[in-house]
Structure 1
Amino acid sequence: MSEHNEIQKKNDIINAASILFLKQGYEKTSVASIAKGANVAKGLVYYYFESKDEILEDVIVSESKNNILTLRSTILENKENYLDNLILLMEAYYAIHPLSHKTTFELTPDNQSYIEAFHAYYLKQVDDILDVIITEAQRDGALQLKYPSHMIIMTLEGLFKLMRIRDVSHDVMLTVFEQSLNLIPNSLLHRK
């Protein structure tokens, strides 16, 4: 098998696993069902991955890698624009979330472990991005919270969960984000 075909087969496995993890949940998805979804033999799945846990890790990395790289480079290039960067962070978080574009899937106990693993990976990857935003905002005196990174993450999580059950406009999201971080009213809203 050529290197290109190997990469394609591995990507097919990752894509099939991603769909199944959301649809059936991590626990109910078997390696055999992943193989079937990718149109490959079960043995080929084990050729690329030692376990279902390793497949999960690759699914999460695959889902978020490009988004995180783009976000990181954009924010690091314009780190003094912390208000714009807060908006970018919020929009990137929504865009990359596993449930945001797969609206046929709902958050259930079965896919909860997949979502939690995604969150843990994503939040670890954006720690340095958060630090840049927080440092600049504190330097400007705009962010005076005791635990700013926790508040940003909790606000993003809360907004996303709210959006899953209610229709929330972009303006409302920005206003809630401003209020939770105790920013000047309309400081984010007027930047969009």
Structure 2
Amino acid sequence: MRITKEYGERKNEILDAAEKLFLTKGYEKCTVNDILKEVDIAKGTLYHYFKSKEDILDAIVWRYKDMVIRRTEKILKIDNISPTERLMRTFMAMQITNQIDNDIINNLHKTENALLHQKILNQIVTAMAPVLAGIIQEGIEKKIWNCRYPLQYMQVFLAASLTLTDEGIFEMDADSQMKVMTALISLLEKMLDVPEDYFAQLFMQNRGQM
């Protein structure tokens, strides 16, 4: 008897299979036929859900972005916390490596998966910079800090931090990683025009949760 699956269930099944194949074979080497065989469906069925292989890739990237967005939305809804605490919690919520299987992370860092990796970083910066800028604006209004270009500064900060702290892009020893983190925190303090070590101590206190 033919088993009929719900739309969302089938769509996620295709995405799960495609993500596995993209990460193990590489996006360029993986073909639509590979995905069809993995899921055991006809080409017409796949195109009912996705227009192309690139469309599937974009949907996979969206899932990673959605993971971050869902976590940060909960923080934005919390009342009675300071902009500083909201900003710190949001930065911590963006650390999703502990939510992803190590094999996926390792495969994501392979050269053949550069496109997927790049798209994920791009989407996270695009989605999260306005969220962080909103928190920055809240702090400005409450006179906690000062910032001339909240959105643009957060775009710069995210692009720099996500790239420089990504072991798949830059290989560094522990000492170099610590120096980069210290420099990034110092940069954030300058962007928000707060005293030196304003964020440094907070980051160190919360490091175990990040």
TM-score after normalising by structure 2: 0.71
- The 1:106/1:18 distance shift into structure 2, 3 A limit, reads closer
- 2:208 matches 1:180: no
Q: How many angstroms does 1:93 deviate by?
A: 2.7
The separation in 1 between residues aligned to 2:80 and 2:119, in whole angstroms, is 28
The separation in 1 between residues aligned to 2:57 and 2:98, in whole angstroms, is 15
- Structure 2 portions without partners, runs of 5+: 190-196
Note if contact 2:107-2:113 (Cα within 8 Å) is conserved in structure 1: no
- Give 1:107's aligned amino acid: H
Q: Structure 1 residues 99-108 or 19-28, which shifts more?
A: 99-108
Note if contact 1:79-1:132 (Cα within 8 Å) is conserved in structure 2: no
Percent of matched pairs sharing the same residue: 19
Partner SS, residue 107 of structure 2: coil
- Equivalent positions of 1:110-189 (< 5 A) are 110-139=112-141, 140-142=143-145, 144=147, 147-153=152-158, 154-161=160-167, 165-166=171-172, 172=178, 175-182=182-189, 184=198, 185-189=200-204
- Give 2:165's aligned amino acid: L
- The 1:158/1:86 distance shift into structure 2, 3 A limit, reads farther
Listed one character per residue, the Cα deviations across residues 22-51 of structure 1 (whole Å, up to 9, x for unaligned) are 222222221111122223233321221111
- Give 1:157's aligned amino acid: T
- The 1:4/1:127 distance shift into structure 2, 3 A limit, reads farther
- Give 1:158's aligned amino acid: L
- 2:205 matches 1:190: yes
- The 1:119/1:99 distance shift into structure 2, 3 A limit, reads farther
Note if contact 2:163-2:169 (Cα within 8 Å) is conserved in structure 1: no
Listed one character per residue, the Cα deviations across residues 31-90 of structure 1 (whole Å, up to 9, x for unaligned) are 111122223233321221111111112112223324312312312435853333333333
Larger radius of gyration: 2
Listed one character per residue, the Cα deviations across residues 3-39 of structure 1 (whole Å, up to 9, x for unaligned) are 7533222111001111222222222221111122223
Alignment RMSD = 3.5
Structure with the greater relative contact order (CA < 8 A, sep ≥ 6): 1 or 2? 1
Q: How many angstroms does 1:134 deviate by?
A: 1.7
- The 1:163/1:81 distance shift into structure 2, 3 A limit, reads farther
Q: How many angstroms does 1:149 deviate by?
A: 0.8
TM-score after normalising by structure 1: 0.76
The separation in 1 between residues aligned to 2:173 and 2:92, in whole angstroms, is 16
Note if contact 2:26-2:112 (Cα within 8 Å) is conserved in structure 1: yes
The separation in 2 between residues aligned to 1:13 and 1:67, in whole angstroms, is 22
Q: How many angstroms does 1:113 deviate by?
A: 1.0
Q: How many angstroms does 1:2 deviate by?
A: 8.1
The separation in 2 between residues aligned to 1:163 and 1:80, in whole angstroms, is 35
- The 1:163/1:54 distance shift into structure 2, 3 A limit, reads closer
- Give 1:50's aligned amino acid: K
Note if contact 1:17-1:34 (Cα within 8 Å) is conserved in structure 2: yes
Q: Structure 1 residues 178-187 or 24-33, which shifts more?
A: 178-187
The separation in 2 between residues aligned to 1:68 and 1:152, in whole angstroms, is 18
- 2:54 matches 1:49: no
Q: How many angstroms does 1:132 deviate by?
A: 1.8
